[in-house]
Structure 1
């Protein structure tokens, strides 16, 4: 089969379109999936540049998100049969187990039936960002009806689904953006307020929007500087969640004065540690999000697709910054 191989860390050009062996079902609970699309996430570009997370994990096939058609099943599998359409978040952290390929083997408990109302491209774009946003807002922050929420980079992959999940919880949403076009996009997703951080003071705008109170919940999807600047925009006893490392030089004096609850969200943890209950919870999140998608209550925005062979171009696009929604690789199985 064709796959994108990473033999050593480096720039996007280190990704090679190559021939590798077809994966085989080795356990009775596994399924072989013919991939139709694979999501491209910032974590992929970081692993490519810095190295994979699995010891002795090179060469590697990257890509955590996949969607495709079941080709074969292990003898104990009853949930799926050949021809079933599935989506999942699995692999891509090291070794030949990622989704930048034409086929992958996953445990049947990891996969979920693909949403009926969307195609493989949108399905492959969704799992990692949906699980991240759900865990951050619902599990970490315990978001409730009537609360105010700030979503940084609201037009991005995690941000655009976080806005929708927050609105589904009955929260009022404000999002930061970098252009008028992205402001229109987040408004269309349900954001009440859009702040162009290039032209406007985020804290001042938040305080104006909340009548001086600050936001109950804030989700940082950008990094240390944004995390620090968000603290003064928080309401007392609020929840500040980051999906990134806030950095070593973090002054939490103001956060302590505000009695903030600070949470860190890394949805990859159950893939790196033996945490079956956490992994099962993530699969349930995916199932519930699939139901929301099929009820037209949640949508996935894909701004651009690339053939599998052009994975390097997709990485360059992400690293250039300011991608709206998600990027996806597609497989034509010639």
Structure 2
């Protein structure tokens, strides 16, 4: 099969299309052989490519956590799927297990969800990591409740654009930061109630004005760096802030402590890194629920760019530019 191999840590040019052996057909277990149609591109992919994977002794490796495709064969113990079923999932790509920049992969049925019927494989492949991240950050780390006010940073981004929609589905009121009029129009179409142009406006003051000086109930940081600790005064006393980035060593915690904020750290890769199979099954359950919402037209996945498999390096260059709206996808076959 054709696959994009990461031959070493480094620039996007280390991603090379090569012929590699097909995965073994599952026999006597709960695994699925999936013919991949599309693979999502995420910032974690570029970080692993530039710094090295979590398992550097296993290079060369195939990156790509997100995949969507068609079940080709099933193990003897598989209960939920059969050949021909369309699926999507977030599995592999961290160095230990094959990722999805390839024509085929093998994944346990417990970690797979049925692809939403109403969207393309490209849209489905773009969805898993960002949906799970936003779901866990808002619903589990942030304990979002109906009627609460939420500040979501970078609402036009991959995680941000689904976070806006998940917050609205929960019954929250949403404010979000963007960098352009085009992105403002985009997030308003997703349901954002209040838009902050962070390049021209102090987002903290804007959030306080929006909440009559009280602060938001929950802030969701998808940017990191200074944005994380600068957000502390925008959150109400005893409120929540969740970040998907590791707090900087120079983070000033004084305001967070004074306001008695509850700090949430969200890393949806934890189950894969620690081998937590029940949590990986929970991820599949999240994707099943989101698939229902997608097919009910309550949730949308925005794909801004599509690249053929052989142009994975160009896709990495684009996502590293930092100006992408929505998601980027690799197209592996024509289905």
TM-score scaled by length of structure 2: 0.98
Greater CA deviation, 94-103 or 301-310? 94-103
Task: Report the CA distance between 1:191 and its aligned residue.
Answer: 0.5
Counterpart residue number, 1:3: 3
Distance 1:141 1:112 in 2: 25
Q: What's the CA shift for 1:322?
A: 1.5
> What's the CA shift for 1:249?
1.6
CA RMSD of aligned residues (A): 1.2
Is contact 2:145-2:172 (8 Å) kept? yes
Aligned to 2:45: 44
Match of 1:200 in 2: 201
Per mean C-alpha deviation after superposition, the further-off stretch among 158-167 and 219-228 is 219-228
CA distance in 1, matches of 2:20, 2:164: 40
Compare 94-103 and 83-92 and name the one that shifted more.
Answer: 94-103
Q: Aligned partners of 1:96 and 1:16: how far apart in 2? A: 18
Q: Shift in Å at residue 57 of structure 1?
A: 2.5
Distance 1:195 1:44 in 2: 29
2:104 paired with 1:103: yes
Distance 2:305 2:215 in 1: 36
Q: Tell me the CA shift for residue 119 of structure 1.
A: 1.1
CA deviation profile, 1:10-63 (whole Å, cap 9, x unmatched): 001110011111011356111100000000000000000000012523111000
Task: Write out aligned runs for 1:79-158 (5 A).
Answer: 79-95=80-96, 97-158=98-159
Whether contact under 8 Å (1:73, 1:80) holds in the other structure is: yes
Q: After TM superposition, where is structure 1 displaced by more than 6 Å over at least 4 residues in a row?
A: none
The answer as to whether partners of 1:58 and 1:95 remain within 8 angstroms in 2 is no
Specify the alignment match of 1:178 in structure 2. Answer: 179
Query: Is the aligned partner of 1:12 residue 2:15?
Result: no
Q: In structure 2, what is the Cα distance between the partners aligned to 1:191 and 1:328?
A: 25
- Looking at structure 2, the residues matched to 81 and 117 of structure 1 have their Cα atoms a distance apart, in angstroms, of 20
Distance 1:300 1:95 in 2: 28
Query: Which runs of 5 or more structure 2 residues have no equivalent in the other structure?
Result: none
Corresponding position of 2:264: 263
Looking at structure 2, the residues matched to 109 and 281 of structure 1 have their Cα atoms a distance apart, in angstroms, of: 9
For residues 45 and 19 of structure 1, the distance between their equivalents in structure 2, rounded to whole angstroms, comes to: 22
Contact kept, 8 Å, 2:26 with 2:73, in 1: the verdict is no
- Counterpart for residue 65 of structure 1: 66
Maintained 8 Å contact 1:102/1:333: no
Deviations 1:199-224 (CA, angstroms, capped at 9, x unpaired):
11101111111110111100100112
Change (3 A) 1:58 1:333: farther
Q: CA deviation at 1:283?
A: 1.2
Give how far 1:187 is off. Answer: 0.8
Structure 2 distance, partners of 1:333, 1:176, is 36
* Aligned length, in residue pairs: 334
- Looking at structure 2, the residues matched to 160 and 79 of structure 1 have their Cα atoms a distance apart, in angstroms, of 31
Tell me the alpha carbon deviations over residues 234-283 of structure 1, each in whole angstroms, 9 at most, x when there is no partner: 11111100001011122211101101000100000101112122112111
d(CA) in 1 for partners of 2:89, 2:226: 32
Gaps of 5+ in 1: none
Offset at 1:172?
Answer: 0.5
Conservation of the 8 A alpha-carbon contact between 2:219 and 2:240:
yes
Give the 3-state SS of the residue equivalent to 1:109 in structure 2: helix
Distance 2:84 2:182 in 1: 40
8 Å contact kept, 2:41–2:327:
yes
Q: Report the Cα distance in structure 2 between the residues aligned to 1:2 and 1:109, rounded to whole angstroms.
A: 26
Contact 1:59-1:96 within 8 A present in 2 as well: no
Secondary structure, counterpart of 1:226 in structure 2: helix
Structure 2 equivalent of residue 250 of structure 1: 251
Q: Secondary structure at the match of 1:23?
A: coil
